Amino acid sequence: MSFRYRTDRSARIVLDDGGVIDCFVRDLSTTGARLELANPKQVSGRFILRIDGMPKPHKCRVAWRTANMLGVEYL
C-alpha cells in the first residue's frame, strides 16, 4: 500500500476508441489515483490518464467504481 495525497487537479481520460472524458483527480499515489467524474460507467477496462501539470500520462486500469468516483491502478 502506498501513501495517497489529496489533490484537486483537472485531468482527461483517453479511451481506446479516442474518446476523451474530463475528470478531477481527488487523490494520487505512486500506484494509482481516485478520480471524480459524472458517469464512471463510461469507463471500462484500461485507458490513458492525462493529469494537468504532470508531464507524463499514465496507463491505467479500473480498480473500483462508485456513482461518481473511479479508483484506478497505474500499469
- pLDDT (0 to 100) of residue 62: 97
C-alpha grid cell, residue 55: 508531464
- Cell numbers 456513482 correspond to what residue? 67
- pLDDT (0 to 100) of residue 2: 76
Proportion of the chain above pLDDT 90, given as a percent: 93
Task: Decide if 22 contacts 37 (C-beta within 8 A).
Answer: yes
DSSP collapsed to 3 states, 8-43? EEEEEEECCCCCEEEEEEEEECCCEEEEECCCHHHC
Average pLDDT value for the chain: 95
What's the pTM value of the predicted model, to 2 decimals?
A: 0.93
Superfamily covering domain 5-74 = predicted glycosyltransferase like domains (2.40.10.220)
pLDDT 10s digits, 38-66:
999 999 899 999 999 999 999 999 999 99
- Over range 65-70, report the average pLDDT: 96
- pLDDT (0 to 100) of residue 46: 96
Exposed/middle/buried for 43, CB within 10 Å: 0-12, 13-18, 19+?
buried
C-alpha grid cell, residue 16: 481506446
